[in-house]
Amino acid sequence: MTVREPPDPIIRMVDLHKRFGELVVLDGVTFGIPRGLTTVLLGPSGTGKSVLIKHIVGLLEPDSGEVWVDDVRVDTASVRQQYAVRKRFGMMFQNGALFDNLTAGENVEFPLRYHTSHNAAKRRKIAEEKLALVELPEVYDRPTSALSGGQRKRVSLARAIVLEPDVVLFDEPNSGLDPLTSSTVDALISRMKDQLGITFVVITHDIVQALAIGDWIGMLSGGELVEYGPREDFLKSESDVVRGFLARNHTV
Q: pLDDT tens-digit profile of 59-94? A: 899 999 999 999 999 999 999 999 899 989 998 876
Provide, rounded to the nearest whole percent, the portion of the chain with pLDDT above 90.
61
CATH 3.40.50.300 assigned to domain 1-88+201-252? The reply is: yes
Q: Is the pLDDT of residue 50 over 90?
A: no
Residue 84: CA count within 13 A, CB half-sphere: 11
- Residues 218-227, mean pLDDT to the nearest whole number: 92
- Residues 185-199, mean pLDDT to the nearest whole number: 89
Domain ranges of the chain: 1-88+201-252
pLDDT averaged over the chain?
90
For the four alpha carbons of 196, 161, 70 and 51, in that order, the dihedral sign comes to negative
Q: Is the pLDDT of residue 97 over 90?
A: no
Give CA separation, 217 vs 33, 42, 116, 238, in Å: 10, 7, 35, 14
Contact (CB, 8 A) for 234 and 39? no
Phi, psi of 88 (to 5 degrees): -85, -5
**pTM, two decimal places:** 0.90
What's 180's DSSP letter? H
